[in-house]
Structure 1
Amino acid sequence: MLLGLLTASGCNQDTEKYPNIVYILADDMGYGDVSCLNPDAKISTPNLDQLAREGITFTDAHSGSAVCTPTRYGILTGRYCWRSPLKSSVLWPWDGPLIEPDRLTIGGFLKQHGYTTACIGKWHLGWEWPTLDGSGMNEEIPKGKWDPAIRDRLAGNVDFSAEIKNGPVTRGFDYYFGDDVPNFPPYCFIENNRTIGLPSMTKPDSMFGNPGPMVEGWNLEEVMPALTRKAVEYIKAGAGEGLFKRDRDKPFFLYFPLTAPHTPIAPTADFQGRSGAGAYGDFVQEVDWTVGQVMKALEEAGMAGNTLLIFTSDNGSPGRDGTDMGGPINSVRKFGHNPSYVFRGIKADIWEGGHHVPFFARWPGKIIPGSQSDEIICHTDLLATCAAMLGRPLPNDAGEDSYNILPALQGEPYDKPIREATVHHSIDGSFSIRQGKWKLEICAGSGGWSDPGNSMAKDMGLPEIQLYDLSMDLREERNLYVQYPEVVEELSSLLQKYMDEGRSVPLPDTAYAYLE
Structure 2
Amino acid sequence: MMPRNISPLLGILLLLSLAQTSSAAERPNIVIILADDLGYGSLNSYGADEGLVRTPNIDRLANEGRRFTDANTPSSVCSPTRYGLLTGRYDWRTDQKHGVINTVDPLHIETTRPTIASVLKSVGYRTAAIGKWHLGYGTTRADFTKPLTPGPLDIGFNYHFAVPQNHGDASGVYVRNREVVGLRSNQVVPVGKSPYGRDYLGIDAPQRVDENVMDTLTTDAIGWLEEQPDEAPFFLYFAPVAIHFPYTPSDRTKGTSGTGLYGDWIHELDVSVGRILDTLDRLQVTDETLIIFTSDNGGVLTTEGIRPEAEAYRAGLRCNGDWRGRKHSIYQGGFRVPFLVRWPGHVPSESVCDETINLVDMFATVAAVIDHPTGSDKEVAEDSANVLPAMLGASPKKPLRSSMIVHSPNGNYAIRRGPWKYIEGKPSPNLKKVPRRDELGAQLYNLQDDPSEQHNILMEHPEITKSLAALLDKHRTSGRSN
Fold agreement, TM-score > 0.5: yes
- Tell me the distance in 2 between the aligned counterparts of 1:489 and 1:388: 34
8 A contact 1:279–1:323 mirrored in 2: no
- Tell me the distance in 2 between the aligned counterparts of 1:454 and 1:39: 27
Pick aligned residue for 1:174 from 145, 149, 158: 158
- Superposed CA deviations along residues 277-299 of structure 1, whole A, max 9, x for unmatched, are 11011001110111111110000
Who is 2:355 aligned against?
375
Structure 2: where are the runs of 5+ without partners?
1-15, 428-433
Greater shift in the superposed pair: 482-491 or 203-212: 203-212
- Tell me the distance in 1 between the aligned counterparts of 2:303 and 2:106: 32
Pick aligned residue for 2:168 from 180, 183, 188: 183
- Tell me the distance in 1 between the aligned counterparts of 2:144 and 2:218: 28
- SS of corresponding position for 2:45: coil
Describe the shift of the 1:328–1:334 C-alpha distance in structure 2 as closer, same or farther (beyond 3 A).
Answer: same
8 A contact 1:56–1:373 mirrored in 2: yes
Who is 1:152 aligned against?
none
- Superposed CA deviations along residues 102-142 of structure 1, whole A, max 9, x for unmatched, are 1000000111111110000111001117xxxxxx537xxxx
- Please tell me whether residue 22 in structure 1 is matched to residue 31 in structure 2: yes
Could you tell me which amino acid in structure 2 is paired with residue 289 of structure 1? V
- SS of corresponding position for 2:362: helix
8 A contact 1:280–1:321 mirrored in 2: no
8 A contact 2:170–2:194 mirrored in 1: no
Pick aligned residue for 1:501 from 473, 478, 482: 478
Who is 1:86 aligned against?
96
CA shift at 1:457, angstroms? Answer: 5.8
- Tell me the distance in 2 between the aligned counterparts of 1:120 and 1:179: 9
- Please tell me whether residue 234 in structure 1 is matched to residue 211 in structure 2: no
8 A contact 1:278–1:321 mirrored in 2: no
- SS of corresponding position for 1:202: coil
- Tell me the distance in 2 between the aligned counterparts of 1:278 and 1:285: 11
8 A contact 1:280–1:322 mirrored in 2: no
8 A contact 2:31–2:289 mirrored in 1: yes
Q: How does 1:317-466 map to 2 (within 5 A)?
A: 317-319=299-301, 327=307, 330=310, 332-395=312-375, 396-443=378-425, 454-456=436-438, 464-466=441-443
Report how many aligned residue pairs link the two structures.
Answer: 453
| Percent of residue pairs bearing the same amino acid type | 37
Could you tell me which amino acid in structure 2 is paired with residue 365 of structure 1? G
- Tell me the distance in 2 between the aligned counterparts of 1:163 and 1:431: 37
Describe the shift of the 1:486–1:207 C-alpha distance in structure 2 as closer, same or farther (beyond 3 A).
Answer: closer
8 A contact 2:330–2:439 mirrored in 1: no
Pick aligned residue for 2:459 from 482, 504, 510: 482
- Superposed CA deviations along residues 429-479 of structure 1, whole A, max 9, x for unmatched, are 10000111111111179xxxxxx9653466xxxxx2111111111110001
CA shift at 1:201, angstroms? Answer: 3.4
- Tell me the distance in 2 between the aligned counterparts of 1:346 and 1:299: 35
- SS of corresponding position for 2:240: strand
- Tell me the distance in 1 between the aligned counterparts of 2:100 and 2:175: 20
Describe the shift of the 1:71–1:9 C-alpha distance in structure 2 as closer, same or farther (beyond 3 A).
Answer: farther
- SS of corresponding position for 1:261: coil
Pick aligned residue for 1:102 from 104, 112, 116: 112
- Tell me the distance in 1 between the aligned counterparts of 2:43 and 2:240: 16
Pick aligned residue for 1:137 from 128, 135, 141: 141
8 A contact 2:174–2:208 mirrored in 1: no
Could you tell me which amino acid in structure 2 is paired with residue 316 of structure 1? G
8 A contact 2:71–2:339 mirrored in 1: yes
- Tell me the distance in 2 between the aligned counterparts of 1:159 and 1:90: 19
- Tell me the distance in 2 between the aligned counterparts of 1:98 and 1:481: 36
Who is 1:202 aligned against?
190
- SS of corresponding position for 1:117: strand
CA shift at 1:202, angstroms? Answer: 3.1
Q: TM-score, normalised by structure 2?
A: 0.89
Could you tell me which amino acid in structure 2 is paired with residue 203 of structure 1? V
What RMSD over aligned residues (CA atoms) do the two structures have, in Å? 2.4
Could you tell me which amino acid in structure 1 is paired with residue 347 of structure 2? I
Q: How does 1:279-290 map to 2 (within 5 A)?
A: 279-290=261-272
- Superposed CA deviations along residues 141-170 of structure 1, whole A, max 9, x for unmatched, are xxxxxxxxxxxxxxxxx351x311011111
Describe the shift of the 1:310–1:159 C-alpha distance in structure 2 as closer, same or farther (beyond 3 A).
Answer: closer
Structure 1: where are the runs of 5+ without partners?
1-6, 130-135, 139-157, 238-245, 446-451, 459-463, 506-516
- Please tell me whether residue 31 in structure 1 is matched to residue 40 in structure 2: yes
